Amino acid sequence: MLANEPLNQRCEFRPDVVATVIDDGAVLLDLETKYFYRLNRTGWAIAQLFESGATPQDVHAYCRAAGATASDQASVSALIDTLLRDNLIEVSDGPPQTSPSEQAVAIDWSPPTIEKQAEPLQRVIISAFDPSVPLVE
């Protein structure tokens, strides 16, 4: 586990983060930074736990139950670390909306991956129809 994981603190997605499920996982888009991320199926199954306010400890327990080995826990920690470092999830003070175990989905275990796109989408664009970089006029 990474040193900066808030192990016992509940974390939730920031309201500005939009998740879309695709065939082989999910896409996350941060509407504030305009960065987007691709998660594989396991990565998405883990990230979904934060929709109900799971703790990193909950996540590690879920992964062990799903078949993660001790060496797999490093990739789980790396995923949580990316979600926290990029502020896709944040520590929550409120009560959980549902139990993390209710949110958990059954998966065929494979190490989770998260891939951040190198460049964010444009923050300022030409027009409501053209997302290109505005030219100097």
Partner 1 sequence: MIRDQVIAKDFCCGPLQLTLRAQDADLYDKIAETLELYDLTWPAPRREVKILARRSQTAEPAAKGDFLRCSRMLVDRSSDGLSASTTSGARAHARFEGARESWHITVPQSLVDQNKLEEIEDVLSLVLTTGWRREGWTPIHAAAVVKNGACVVICAPTGGGKTTLTAALVRRGWQVLGDDKILLRMSEGQPIIAALLHTFNLHPQTRRWFPEVGDLEQLPRYSVWTEKRKVSISSIWSHAPAQTAKPTVLIALRRNDEVTHAVIAPLREEDVLETLLRQTVIPADRATARDIVSTVARAAGRLRGLNVEVPTDAYRDPQFLVALESAIESSS
Instruction: Candidates 4, 98, 101, 117: give the one binding partner 1 (CB under 8 A).
Output: 117
Q: Can you tell me the distance from the alpha carbon of 65 to that of 76, in angstroms, rounded to the nearest whole number?
A: 13
Vertex 125 angle, CA 123 and 127, to 5°: 145
25: left (phi over 0), alpha (psi -120 to 50) or beta: left
- Tell me, by CB under 8 A, how many residues bind partner 1: 31
**CB of 26 vs partner 1, minimal distance in Å:** 9
Locate 118 and state its tokens: 């190198």
The identity of residue 56, as a single letter, is: P
The 8 Å CB, 24+ separation contacts for 62-71 are 62/100, 62/101, 62/104, 63/109, 66/42, 66/106, 66/107, 66/109, 67/109, 68/109, 68/111
**Residue with token string 């995923």:** 79
| Shorter beta-carbon distance to partner 1: residue 19 or 78 | 19
Instruction: Candidates 1, 6, 9, 27: give the one binding partner 1 (CB under 8 A).
Output: 27
Instruction: Candidates 35, 38, 96, 109: give the one binding partner 1 (CB under 8 A).
Output: 38
Instruction: Candidates 65, 69, 74, 115: give the one binding partner 1 (CB under 8 A).
Output: 115
Q: Which of residues 74-113 bind partner 1 (CB under 8 A)?
A: none
**Contact window for partner 1 (CB under 8 A) among 21-29, 64-72, 77-85, 97-105:** 21-29
**Contacting positions for partner 1 (CB under 8 A):** 15-16, 18-20, 22-23, 27, 29, 31-32, 36, 38, 115, 117, 121-135, 137
